[in-house]
Structure 1
Amino acid sequence: MRAIICSITILLLGGCISTPMLTSSNNVPTQSLSELIEDTSCNASFQCKVLSVGERAACGGPSKYLVYSTKSVDEEQVEKLAEQVTMKEKILNQQQTQVDVCKQVLPIQALCIDNQCKAFTIK
């Protein structure tokens, strides 16, 4: 079923939602969001950021929260790619029959611990 949805998405959007890509000025794919934020090294907690990504089909809101470090990436580039992922999920959600259950996705905060940005659930 996922392969069919992904194939339809490829036809409609030009790419599968599980492989979002940034494109350079000549539209050549460069890297996915997870690859872009892979390096979470930090020197201080102000470099650790939380990003809400995607959209839950059943009840709205982000489908996940991601932690990244501004020490190693351009914050604007990360936010732009996250917006692309969110838009693709919104379009996909509108095209699919709503069978998802509204599951709570808890917000997180990020702190620099042992020179790595770490996520902690906010309760």
Structure 2
Amino acid sequence: MRTLLLSLIMACTACTTDASAPPERQPSPPATQPAPTPAPAPGAATGSTLEQIRAMIGSAACTGPSQCRTLPVGARACGGPEAYLPYSTANLNEPALRALAERYKGERQAQNQASGMVSDCRFIPDPGAVCRAGTCQLGNGESPAS
């Protein structure tokens, strides 16, 4: 009887773990303050697009709050951006920056679809951007006082 019970427990354990199955994808953390890259960029084309976006933003120098904006970047599997980057409208071609961001979004959407990526479907609010110490930085999501 004990042998039968032990065999049954081992059989159930074998059914619940499948060593050949790929590991589950973990949802990406909310990215209101992006890391060095807001999302993993496995493809060279995607990485170069994000690098172009960051190069175009540069230091995001500002002299006042009206120059600071946020740029939604990437695409989460459930929709919405992966992160926001602060930028300054001073000395920047804003339509070109937005076009690059759209290209990057399309690349990330294609990667998500091809890989079967899933996410937690949590809404990431735009944190806004503020001018601090002469640089546009992500805010806390509240409208800055004018």
What is the TM-score normalised by the length of structure 1?
A: 0.71
Q: Which residue of 1 aligns with 2:126?
A: 107
- Aligned residue-pair number: 102
Which structure is larger by alpha-carbon Rg, 1 or 2? 2
Q: 1:96 aligns with which of 115, 129, 136?
A: 115
1:54 lines up with 2:74 in the alignment: yes
Q: 1:43 aligns with which of 63, 74, 83?
A: 63
Flag structure 2 segments of 5+ consecutive residues without an equivalent: 1-40
| SS of residue matched to 1:108 | coil
More helix by share: 2
Contact 2:80–2:123 (Cα < 8 Å) also in 1: no
1:74 lines up with 2:58 in the alignment: no
Contact 1:65–1:107 (Cα < 8 Å) also in 2: yes
What is the TM-score normalised by the length of structure 2?
A: 0.61
Distance in 2 between residues matched to 1:98 and 1:79, nearest whole Å: 25
Contact 1:20–1:85 (Cα < 8 Å) also in 2: yes
Q: What root-mean-square deviation, in Å, do the aligned CA atoms of Structure 1 and Structure 2 show? A: 2.1
Aligned CA distance change for structure 1 residues 101 and 84 (closer, same or farther; 3 Å): same
Q: CA deviation at 1:99?
A: 4.1
Q: CA deviation at 1:122?
A: 1.5
Flag structure 1 segments of 5+ consecutive residues without an equivalent: 10-14, 22-30
* Letter paired with 1:70: T
Q: CA deviation at 1:115?
A: 1.4
More strand by share: 1
Distance in 2 between residues matched to 1:39 and 1:72, nearest whole Å: 11
Q: Which residue of 1 aligns with 2:36?
A: none
1:16 lines up with 2:48 in the alignment: no
